[in-house]
A and B are shown apart, each in its own frame.
Chain A
């Protein structure tokens, strides 16, 4: 029965206009019949008509009640509201469109940020079964020195791993991996590839899906009988092997050896480090096949899956105990164990990045507030302009709630339209930005950068809620029951500026001021840094840098190359030259642990210094004076001697003469200090760090062999000569020559600091644009509201300029209030952030004044058009304005 009822309801709902007509005709017939009854009772036709009509009662009400049997009134009223709101918005389409676009861009930015954060930093490894149960395990390598505490972690050695794996109970098989670079292919197809050497239980522990073939078993990873097997990543399989279906069983060449492909991973597996996507998976034991020496021995990263009921805390406790027992057995200082999730942001030492993201989201949230305030002002202006219409509706009998609901529906429509547009932005923006940063238009990332349903839903909700929230106050205000004011000439009197509108506008101005000042301080901070860099040494040198294919040069080859180059250099027309492991202001920081011979290696006692490997002539080239002892010279090559800078001398040997003292660098033999040089800001930081200068290759434990940089000064251009000399030694070398100042500029224009500044400026600019639009809206509205007043003044003889001054003066007060509030907030914010954001410059009056002027001129620009419009008002028209 109920189904039949519903069917009938549906049928009638579809034909609702027809139902209306039927009911109306019926009731008209009823009235006609009544009239005929009166007539036949003796009344004249006119009187009969009147009495019949009176006797019918409220026909309209009856019709609506009859109609409401078929369709619920509230549903219909919602539909009516939407239609009405649509018509209204179409009439004010300009400002509505503007509000929608602004809100959409803000939503898009916010959602993009959420997506990137979620996909990049907070998600555990994708493609892994039950990723939340997988944990990464490190050894705690934190250290503290005079400039603060560093949280860092390091990996495990093979024996350490095996000892833990055999004994741990709260993790299923503990797997180990090691990331490295290999050369894939041979001949013409030779190229670098990212490799992950994994233990035999890696695929099982992670429950990695494979699209073809199989993963590794324990058998494949036997150190005494290494297997030539490899698993390809989905990305490599498609890119290099054209998704060849028959790839299993084929062999590929890695580092000159043939490996058999036994599987291909599913596309979903991604590693959490962006930019280091893995191309091939090899067994750990195959390290000995790929490289000479025990290259992979030192540092394995461990990963395991929690057994049911285990927690990270308990795992950490258990592993710490086991690990420290192992350390003590080996005679080493025990370290603590760190257990984290596998998300990018979980890695200790990533906290600055999380903090930066938090800052960015705070900035975006501020912009969001500004956009919402804009929407609120827009809705308020619209609603106020329709006060008369609303007053009439209230007078007829609409309940206040009904009218408020209708006004809110307008806000809702704006919000929904904005969220649709914003989501379109959010789908395309993150990928575009990441590709821009990676400078690769076709990069694909092993993590997800499109919003998932949760993000989408929250974006839509945010938009709807904020639009309605900011529409609520205006709606309530406008429907307040002051009918006289609504319908009468209340507009003629200068109504005091609605505090709400002014507050919103002042808030917008304040927020944009804060953002702009922060952006300005970041820029000025970076400039301060570069300025302080030029002081202490000669920067008129040039840098030649060399690069080769990875794996082409090992330590021995590098040493012989360096010797050959040094021999070839005197023939070139260089007035002075020297070799160094890095160039001044380089991003590369070679830190190395330093302690006295026989001193403890415990974590708390470790000290760190920057390490520079140099050739004799380095200090002379850069005009860094020697303050004690002697410089390195040609006889010191390969010797365990070192020169230190003043800061290091002060810190390590306070009140003593460092000359002749010994230090141990990482696990080296003792180095003797032979000289002390003046402090110089050789690195990119604003403070001088303790620095050790040694001859090349004296510290043998350094793992990677990198090319030294050639620093030189010359009268004539020698770039070509250098390139020719370098090619003679090795034709495949890539050689670049640039002035040091160009390098500095390059550093200034790239890297995270650069993007941070760009982002801050973009946010500030966007906020200012929003605020300007808001100011424009408010000014235009004020002019419209006071049109009749302006008409009166002009009729009495006021000049156009006086009118303009009148209007501007009132609203400049609001803008000024916002400016002052913004400056105070900015000062507070910069003080709070100074400690955590090193790029923030000190108090820079130029920035504050500049931003103030910028905002003021934006306000002036925003008021220009409305002010002009005000002066063009014809007094006669204005006086009749309603």
Chain B
């Protein structure tokens, strides 16, 4: 899984949105989040560590997720991230914003 294809550039802030969405179903560690995003998007969205972990720290800073150390399925220590209430609110508002944006872009492209 090297970098054989240029991953698409995400709009800034979109990564935060994706991570928050990925955590809706439950807590996950960083690797799990990256894998989930990759799986859900059919290998299109491949988030590297250099963007994932800074983004996770940002979300931590803003209080939209919280982090806890726990045991992974093979009993290694891993840090699990959970969505907070504020995070859910943020997810909803970001989602709305994103939809509006996409709609606008669509409209322009349809002409």
Residue ranges of A at the interface with B (Cβ–Cβ < 8 Å): 1, 4-5, 8-9, 12, 22-23, 25-27, 29-30, 32-34, 36, 54-59, 61-63, 65-70
Contacts and interface: CB of A to CB of B under 8 A. Distances in A.
A9 B61 CA distance: 7
Given A9-B61, A69-B61, A25 B49 contact: no
Interface in B16-32: 29-31
Contacts of B49: 27, 30, 56-57, 59, 62
Interface in B41-92: 48-50, 53-54, 56-58, 60-63, 67, 72, 74, 76-79
Nearest to A19: B57
Contacts of B109: none
Contacts of B67: 22
A447 to B, nearest CB: 56
Most chain B CB neighbours (cut-off 10 Å) among A30, A32, A70: A30
Contacts of B62: 5
A22 B79 contact: yes
A65 B56 CA distance: 11
B1 to A, nearest CB: 6
A56 B60 CA distance: 22
Contacts of A68: 54
5 contacts: A5-B63, A26-B53, A66-B57, A69-B60, A70-B57
A57 B50 contact: yes
Given A55-B1, A62-B50, A30 B30 contact: yes
Contacts of B8: none
A55 B54 CA distance: 18
Contact of A29 (B50, B57, B76): B76
Nearest to B57: A69
Contacts of A26: 29-30, 53, 78-79
B29 A29 contact: yes
A7 to B, nearest CB: 10
Contacts of A27: 30, 49, 53
Interface residues of B, number: 25
A65 B2 contact: no
A65 B48 CA distance: 13
A1 B76 CA distance: 35
A33 B1 CA distance: 13
Given A55-B1, A57-B48, A66 B54 contact: yes
A58 B57 contact: no
A58 B48 CA distance: 10
Contacts of A62: 48-50, 53-54
Nearest to B53: A66
Interface of B: 1-2, 29-31, 34, 48-50, 53-54, 56-58, 60-63, 67, 72, 74, 76-79
Nearest to B74: A36
A275 B62 CA distance: 67
A29 B61 contact: no
B15 to A, nearest CB: 13
B76 to A, nearest CB: 6
Contacts of B29: 26, 29
A69 B54 contact: yes
A13 to B, nearest CB: 11
Contacts of B77: 25, 29
A442 to B, nearest CB: 62
A69 B58 contact: yes
Contacts of A12: 61
Most chain A CB neighbours (cut-off 10 Å) among B31, B34, B72, B77: B31
A70 B78 CA distance: 21
A141 to B, nearest CB: 77
A4 B72 contact: no
Contacts of B48: 57, 62
B32 to A, nearest CB: 8
A4 B62 CA distance: 8
Contacts of B53: 23, 26-27, 62-63, 65-66
Contacts of B76: 29, 32
Contacts of A30: 30-31, 34, 49
Given A1-B63, A57-B48, A69-B60, 16 more contacts: A5-B62, A8-B61, A9-B61, A23-B53, A26-B29, A26-B30, A26-B53, A26-B79, A29-B30, A30-B30, A30-B49, A55-B2, A59-B49, A62-B50, A63-B53, A67-B57
A65 B50 contact: yes
Contacts of A54: 2
Given A5-B63, A32-B76, A61 B30 contact: no
A740 B76 CA distance: 102
Contacts of B30: 26-27, 29-30
Contact of A58 (B1, B50, B74, B79): B50
A5 B50 contact: no
B61 to A, nearest CB: 6
Nearest to A33: B31
B67 to A, nearest CB: 8
A58 B60 CA distance: 22
Contact of B31 (A8, A23, A34): A34
A5 B61 CA distance: 6
Please provide the 3 A-B residue pairs with the shortest distance between their CB atoms, ordered closest to farther: A62-B50, A69-B57, A33-B31
A1 B30 CA distance: 26
Contacts of B58: 69
A54 B2 CA distance: 8
Contacts of A57: 48-50
A32 B76 CA distance: 10
Contacts of A61: 50
Most chain A CB neighbours (cut-off 10 Å) among B61, B63, B77: B61
A22 B77 CA distance: 11
A8 B77 CA distance: 24
B50 A70 contact: no
A65 B1 CA distance: 23
A18 to B, nearest CB: 11
A22 B63 CA distance: 17
B36 to A, nearest CB: 13
Contacts of A69: 54, 57-58, 60-61
Most chain A CB neighbours (cut-off 10 Å) among B29, B54, B56, B79: B54
Nearest to A60: B50
Contacts of A9: 61
Nearest to B32: A33
Contacts of A4: 63
A807 B31 CA distance: 66
A15 to B, nearest CB: 13
A561 B41 CA distance: 121
A61 B49 CA distance: 10
A9 B57 CA distance: 11
A387 B65 CA distance: 48
Nearest to B63: A4
A32 B57 CA distance: 20
Most chain B CB neighbours (cut-off 10 Å) among A23, A32, A33, A56: A33
A477 to B, nearest CB: 37
Contacts of B78: 26, 29
Most chain B CB neighbours (cut-off 10 Å) among A26, A34, A63: A26
Nearest to B86: A1
A798 B2 CA distance: 65
A66 B61 CA distance: 11
A29 B72 contact: yes
Most chain B CB neighbours (cut-off 10 Å) among A12, A65, A66, A70: A66
A62 B53 CA distance: 7
Contacts of B34: 30
A75 to B, nearest CB: 16
A34 B2 CA distance: 12
Most chain A CB neighbours (cut-off 10 Å) among B49, B50, B77: B49
Contact of A8 (B1, B2, B63, B79): B63
Nearest to A69: B57
A61 B29 CA distance: 20
B28 to A, nearest CB: 12
A61 B57 CA distance: 14
A5 B50 CA distance: 23
